[in-house]
Structure 1
Amino acid sequence: MKLILRNYIKTFEGLSKEVWWLSLITFVNRFGAMVIPFLSIYLNESIGITLGDVGWIMSAYGLGSVVGSYIGGKLTDLIGYYKVILLSLFFTGINFLWVMHVADFWGLCFSFFILITLADMGRPAFFVALSAYSKPENKTRSLTLLRLAINLGMGAGPMIGGLLIGTVGYHALFYADGFTCLLAGLLMMYVLNPKTVKEVDKEVIVENPVAPEKDITYVYFLIGLMLFAMAFLPLFTVVPVYYRSVYEISEPNIGLLMGINPIMIVLLEMPLVAWLLKKKYDNIQLTIIGIAFTGLSYIVLVWEAWIGVLFISIVLMTFGEMIGFPFSNKFALDRSKIGKQGAFMGLYSMAFAIANIFSHNAGMQITAKYGFKVVWLFIFGLTVIACFFMYLSRRKVMEETTTKQLSLKSNLDK
C-alpha cells in the first residue's frame, strides 16, 4: 500500500509551484460553481419558469459560453492571461450576486448569457497560463493536475450546494458562487502576481502568426474534438435518465454509480497519463484511443439483459475521458505555438461550448422519438466520425513533418 501511495505521489513531482497555485485557484472557483447542477430546478420550481422556457434560458447560457470563449481568446492575446483571468473571476462573482434578483424570462436569458460569457472568458486564459507555468515536458501532467482540481471542485460543490438549499435556500448558492469567484481572484492576485512570479515557458512570438481558423490541421482537430465532446456530454443528461427509466435505479444509487467517474479520475488519471507519456504514441493517437473508449461505453448499453453493463459503461467512459481530454488539450497547446496562443485556446474552448449547445438537446430529442438504443448508436456514430477527423488532422501533421524534413535536407545539401 505504501509503495502504491509513493508511486502515486511521484507522478506529481516536478510540477512548478505556480501550477499548483493555479490548480488551487481553479478548485476554489469550480467548488463555488454549485448553482449549475441545480439551475434547471431553481428556474422551474423556485421562480416558476416553464420547462420549455428553461430550455431557452439554457440555450442562452450555452451561447454565452461560445461568445465568452471567443472573446477570452482574443483578449488573452491583447492584454495577457493574468488580466483576463482576474477580469473573468471578479465580474463573474459580481454577476452571481446580481443575477439572483432577476425573475422574468427575458431578463434571465440576458443575465445568464452575460454571466456565462464572463465566466468562460477566462477558460482560454487559464490554458495559456498553465502553459506559461509549465516546462514543455510537464505540460500534459500539469493539465491533468488542473483537471483533477476541476473534478474535485465540481464533485464537492454540488454536495455543499444541496446542503445550502436544504438549510438556507437557493439564494445561498448565488452568494457562495459569487464570493468564491471573488476569493479565487484575490488568491490569484496574491500568489500569481506577474511582478513576483516568473514564467517557465514564455509564449513564442512568431513572425506572421497563423490564424487558428486558417490552420486546416487544427480545424480538422477541432471538428473531431467537438464531436468527441458531443458524445461525452450525454453522460450527464441522457445516461441518468436511462438508469432511472430502464433499470429503475433510485436517485441515490444513480449518484453512486455516477460517482465512479470522479473517483476514478482522482485515483487513476495522473498515474495513467504519466504511464502513457512513456509510450510511443503521439497526442492525436491517444486522443483517438480516448474517443474509441467513449464510443464503446455507449455500445455496451445496447445490451440491456444485464445490469452489470452499467458499471462496464461508466468505467469505459471514464478511461475515454482520462485519455482523450488531457492529450487533446496538449495537442492544442503545442499547436498554438505557430500562432497566438489565446486565439488557438479560445477555439479549443469553443469546441466544448458548441457541443454543450447541441449535445444535450439532441440526445434527449432522439431518445424521446426513437428510444435509448437508437441514441446509443447515434452517439457511437459521432465517435466514429470524430476519430476520422482526428485521423485527418494527424495525417496533416505527418505531411508537415515530412515537408520540414525534406526542406531541412535540401538546405543541408546546398
Structure 2
Amino acid sequence: MRTDTRAWLTIGAAALACAPGIAFRFAGYHPPAIAGALTFGIAILAAAFLLSWGAETAEMDISQGLALAIIAIIAVLPEYAVDFILAWKAGADPAEAERGLAVANMTGGNRLLIGIGWPLVFFLFFYRTRIRELVVDRERSLELTFLAVATAYVIFIPLRSHITVIDTIVLVSLFLMYMFFTSRVETEEVELVGPAKAIGALQAAPRRLVVVVLLVYSAVAIFASAEPFADSLVHIGERFGISEFFLIQWLAPLASESPEVLVACLLAWRGRAAAGMGVLISSKVNQWTLLIGTLPIAFLVSAGEFGWTLGLPLDSRQRDEIFLTAAQSAFAIAVFANLRMSRAEAAVLFGLFATQLFITNEHARVLYGLAYTILCVVLLAWNWRALPRTLRDAVTIMQGRELAPGDDLAAEEQAEPARPAP
C-alpha cells in the first residue's frame, strides 16, 4: 500500500510540474528567457514521465507497437507546432519562404533524433547492462520497412524545386498505412513497475480512463510548453550572437525533440531499451512521412494557392539539407537492418552528426551526405543475410499473422544470456 501511495504521489507531483507551463502559455505570459527555459523545460520533462507511464500501462490493452506509435505522435507534437508556424509564415510572406526556416527546423529535428537520440538510448542500455549490442523486437521490422520506403522517396525530393501536394499524398498515405498495420499487432503481456504498476493495478475501466487522462494531459503540456521553451532557447542564443538559421535548425528542435528522447531514455533506464528505441524509430517514421507531407498544405493554405506542382519552395541550401538528412536516415536504417545496433554503429551515428553540426559549408553537407550513403551501402552489403528475414517479418505483420519464433538472427540473440563487459 505504501508503495502504491508513493507511486500516486509521484504521478501527482509530475502533473503539478506541468501546470506552470500550461498556465503560462494559455495566459499569454512569457517569462524572461532563462526563467522561461527552466519553467517550460521542467514541464516538458514532467510530461515525458507521465507519457511514459501512461503508454506503458496502455500496453495492457493495445499492442506495444501501437502504444509506441501513440507516444511518438504525442511527443512529436511540438515539432509539428513549430514547423507548421514556420511553413505558414513562409506561405504568407515570400521573404520568409526564402529564409527556408521550415525546412531548417524539419531537417534539424530529424537529424537530432537519429544523431543524438538513437546513440543515447544505446549507451544508456550499455551502461545498465554492459551488453555490446542492442537487439530490438522483431515487430520493429514494420517501422524499418516503412522508414526505408519513405527514405527512398524523400531522397529524390532535392532533385525538384518544391515539396508538393503529390509528396503530401504519397507520404501521408505511407503514414496511414503504417498506423493501420501497427494497430493489427497482437498485444503482449507486459511487466509494469513504479507508477505504471500502480495504474495497471486498477480495474479495467478506471485504468483506461487514467491512461487517457495522462496521455491527453501530457499532450497538452508538451504542446503548450514546447514553442515557448524553443523561443526561450533562441533568445538565449541570440544574446551570444548565434545566427537565426542555426538556432531554428538546432536549438528549437532540441526543445521540440526532447519529449520523445526523454521518454525513450526513461524506458531504457528502466530496462526497456528495445521499447525506448522503438519510440524513436516510430517517431522517425512519423516525422519522415506525416510531418514532411503536411508542410506543403500549411504553406499553400497560407499562400491562398493550390496546384499539384505547387508547394514549399526549396533553394540549393534546403535541397542539400534534405539530401543530407535522407542520407543519414538511410544509414540509420542500414544499422538496424539486422534489428540490432552495436557500440561501433552507435558511435559512428553520433560522431558523424556531432562533427557536421557546426559546419555550414555547402560542399561539406554534400560530402557528409555522400559519406552516409557509402556507409549505408557497405553496411547493407555486410548484413545482406539479415535483409530477407527483416523484410519477411514486416510482410508477416502486414498480413496479420503471428511471427514464428526463432526463425531469424534477432530472435536467437534475444534469447542469449547477457555477456559481461570486456
The TM-score, its normalising length taken from structure 1, stands at: 0.32
Greater helix proportion: 1
- Say which structure, 1 or 2, has more relative contact order (CA 8 Å, 6+ apart): 2
